[in-house]
Every structure is written in C-alpha cells, then in structure tokens.
Amino acid sequence: MSASADVVIVGGAGVGSASAYFLTADPGFRGRVVVIERDPTYANCSTARSAGAIRQQFSTPENIRLSMFGFKFLSEIAERLEVDGERADVSFRRNGYLFLATESGRTVLETNHATQRAEGASVALLDAAELKARFPWLNVEGLAAGSLGLANEGWFDPYALLQAFRRKARAQGAIYRHDTAVGLERAGDRIVAVKLASGERLACGTLVNAAGPGAGRVAAMAGIELPVGPRKRFVYVVDCRTPLPGCPLVIDASGVWVRPEGSAYVCGVSPPEDQDPECDDFELDYQPFEEVVWPTLAHRIPAFEAIKLQRAWAGHYDYNTVDQNGIIGRHPQVTNFVFANGFSGHGIQQSPATGRAVAELIVHGKFISIDLRRFGYERFAANQPILELNVV
Ligand SMILES: Cc1cc2nc3c(=O)[nH]c(=O)nc-3n(C[C@H](O)[C@H](O)[C@H](O)COP(=O)(O)OP(=O)(O)OC[C@H]3O[C@@H](n4cnc5c(N)ncnc54)[C@H](O)[C@@H]3O)c2cc1C
C-alpha cells in the first residue's frame, strides 16, 4: 500500500506533537500531517522521562527566547490546548532556578546575568550573605554568588504536555500512525518517502525529524550525519522531613541539581563527558546517587543528611555530541528534511517554541517569531558551535 502526506513527522512525543499542533493550527497551512510514532505508550521516550523544568537562565540568547516562549505558552496552555471544552492541565508550578557559583564560576554567572537581563529575563544576582538571608537552610560555605530566577521559570508534567499537544493536534486534523520509520527514500536532494516497518511506503512533501535520542539514526537513513544520540541520565526521588521554605530548583556549582516535587524532592547530576557513552538501556545505577548526588546535597543543604531514597528512574537525553544545543532547521542540501533535534536536557521546555519554528519554516519558508538561523545544521560544517554554558 502507498500513501502520502504533505508533512510526515517521525516521532510523536513532545517535539513531534508540538510541531504537529503548530502546523495544523496555522491558518496558512492546508496540508495533511502524518505523525509516525513507534510507541504510542511513550513509556521510554525522553519526554516521558524528563524532569520537566523550564528556565530563562541560559547563556545563549536564542535559548532564553525559546524558553521564554515556552513559559508564556505553559501559562496559557489551559485555553490554547483545550479540546471539546476540556482544558489542558500540565500541573505547571511557577518557581525559580538558583544557579550557585564558587569564586571560579562568578564571572560566568555575571556574564550570563547580563545576557539574560538584555533578553528581558527577571533574574537577581545574590552574594553569599544574601543567599543565606533568603534561604537560611542553604550552606553558603565556598559560594561566591547565586543567580535566582524571579519569573518565567518552574516545572510541569512533561507527559501531560505531550498528551495535550497530541490531543489538540489530532483534533486539528493531524493523523497519528503507530509504526516505525525504518528507511528514507531519497531522490537527489529530496526525501521522497518514508519506509515503515509495516511495509508501507509513505510519500512525503516535507519530512520532520522529531525522533529524540533516535534522531541520529533517522538522519542516517538518508545518508546524513546528525550528531545526536542517547545519553543515560538518572533522576532520584528523595524524602526530606525538614521543611526547606521557598526551595527553588537548585543547581549546585558542581552540577548536582535538586528541586521539590510535591512533598518529596527530585535530584540528579550529569556525568563527566568522558564517562558518558551512548547507551540504549534503562538500567538504574545508584552509585552516582551514593557517591556524588547525596554527599554534595548533604553538604549544600544540611537537612539532606537525613533524606530517604524513595525511588529513581532512568531516561535518555537526546544528546547533541557537538555542542549540546537544539538543531532546528532544514538540511542545507536536502531542503525538505527539517531537524528538530539534539536538545540535550532542555528540550521539553523548548518544545512549544520549536514546534512553532518548525511550522513557520514549513508554512512561511523562514523563521518568523525567533531567528533561529544560528541553530541550523549548517553550523557543524562551518565549525560554529553554539557553546551554551548552562547545560545541566
Ligand atoms: C532524565 C531527563 C531529565 C530531563 N529534564 C529536562 C528538563 O528538566 N527540562 C527540559 O526542558 N528537558 C529535559 N529533558 C530533555 C527533554 O526531555 C527532551 O529534550 C525532550 O523531551 C525531547 O523531546 P522529543 O520529542 O524530541 O524526543 P522524545 O521524547 O524522545 O520523542 C521521540 C519520539 O520519537 C519516536 N521515534 C524514534 N525513532 C522513531 C522511528 N524510527 N520511527 C517512529 N518513531 C520513532 C520515539 O518512540 C519517541 O516517542 C530531560 C530528559 C531526561 C531524559
């Protein structure tokens, strides 16, 4: 059987469904959108295993803009993604991030602060005494400064966001197919069809790669190298009996992070890059918790000396091995192949702005809301990586 679609999106989780939503919402778009998703339970995708946090505190202006739109979108989500009178609810909780720095990190924090302020972000730089006054439960020993988000930050249920995008996209006409893309048919500089595991051939006008950690493999089906693959991360859920009033999402100078989740806390750390191989399994490892996360947190927040580990989960970052930033845009030669990949730990908060950018490219032929040309695939050949300093 052979079928066709104006736009085929491979991957129907956060980014793919956001793209399907914005495409089908655009009054200038009249085409047929088919989303190919191999696992409609979404059990293992990056989105479902995300920590679901959003921040304005990046060092790259585009990242700040992408996430600021994400925050605005989440603030309006109940109405924007309402279907048949049922309002969307992603349990959005507004709260800041607190990036901590020792003396050696102070300059970076100050430079980021200036970039963020220039972008209209509401952030405060606090010295150690101010940190102690504001968060008496924090051990400020060894700290030179902290950057606290005063607005536009928080956390939400990423799985609920995925489902809300998907529901609305379907209500607007997007078709979701339970199948796996196993090959791409290329004719010169065009992708002409997607081969599916079911045996079907789906002809396409435009192909969007929204395959998350699998994006490198999907690009390889067209003979294109895309530096994106899975990297395993652990999230640990702990119980802490001592109240920590006003606890933000704390990023210690070491990279260890923690935030409240209901009456518990979630926490984790990314490993050093040389200990971070491509990995496809979801086996849990408690060693990073025992050896790095817990001791670091117990030092920084003494109440954490008495925490109890409740549970943990593993997930895969959609990791861009070159510069850990999103790759958004068309392939320079194969121009009907659009990438929305490689977000490396900050992709679900950027899914609304990314979906909107993908739709703008397809419908209007260019970025309209945020100029994302620097985030294009071309940057690799030009050796112009985007070195975001706040990758968590
Ligand atoms: C532990 C953890 C914590 C995180 N914390 C945050 C956070 O706090 N804030 C933040 O913004 N981001 C965070 N992220 C990153 C964020 O979750 C991802 O960047 C984002 O969800 C990527 O969305 P996606 O739709 O591109 O990828 P995915 O959610 O992985 O979706 C890709 C989809 O493509 C499908 N697919 C793949 N290949 C094929 C194929 N060949 N055929 C058909 N379907 C296919 C998969 O089944 C999957 O459903 C975190 C990630 C992890 C793992």
Q: Is 301 in the pocket of ligand 1 (CB under 6 A)?
A: no
Atom of ligand 1 nearest to the CA of 341: 26
Q: Is 235 in the pocket of ligand 1 (CB under 6 A)?
A: yes
Each residue's pLDDT tens digit in the chain (392 positions)?
A: 469 999 999 999 999 999 999 999 999 999 999 999 999 999 999 999 999 999 999 999 999 999 999 999 999 999 999 999 999 999 999 999 999 999 999 999 999 999 999 999 999 999 999 999 999 999 999 999 999 999 999 999 999 999 999 999 999 999 999 999 999 999 999 999 999 999 999 999 999 999 999 999 999 999 999 999 999 999 999 999 999 999 999 999 999 999 999 999 999 999 998 999 899 999 999 999 999 999 999 999 999 999 999 999 999 999 999 999 999 999 999 999 999 999 999 999 999 999 999 999 999 999 999 999 999 999 999 999 999 888 88
What's the gap in Å between 352 CA and the centre of ligand 1? 14
Full-model pTM: 0.98
Residue 200's closest CA among 218, 220, 183, 223? 183
Atom of ligand 1 nearest to the CA of 42: 49
Cβ proximity of 38 and 26 under 8 Å = no
Q: Is 316 in the pocket of ligand 1 (CB under 6 A)?
A: yes
Report which secondary-structure segment, H or E, holds 68.
helix 61-75
Atom of ligand 1 nearest to the CA of 48: 29
What's the gap in Å between 104 CA and the centre of ligand 1? 33
Share of the chain above pLDDT 90, in %: 97
Query: Among 175, 324, 348, 351, which residue has the most ligand 1 atoms within 8 Å of its CB, making it the best to mutate?
Result: 348
pLDDT in tens, 197-217: 999 999 999 999 999 999 999
**What is the residue with the minimal CA distance to atom 21 of ligand 1?**
47
What's the gap in Å between 234 CA and the centre of ligand 1? 14
What's the gap in Å between 50 CA and the centre of ligand 1? 8
Backbone angles phi, psi at 71, to 5 degrees: -65, -45
β partners of residue 288: none
Helix (H, G, I), strand (E, B) or coil at 249: strand
User: What pLDDT is attached to residue 2?
Assistant: 64
Helix (H, G, I), strand (E, B) or coil at 312: strand
What gap in Å lies between CA 173 and CA 109, rounded to an integer?
45
What's the gap in Å between 48 CA and the centre of ligand 1? 7
Q: Read off the amino acid at residue 89.
A: D
Report the length, in residues, of the chain.
Answer: 392
Backbone angles phi, psi at 342, to 5 degrees: 75, 30
Domains and CATH numbers, the chain: 2-86+157-227+322-381 (3.50.50.60), 93-150+230-316 (3.30.9.10)
What gap in Å lies between CA 33 and CA 204, rounded to an integer?
9
What gap in Å lies between CA 65 and CA 60, rounded to an integer?
9
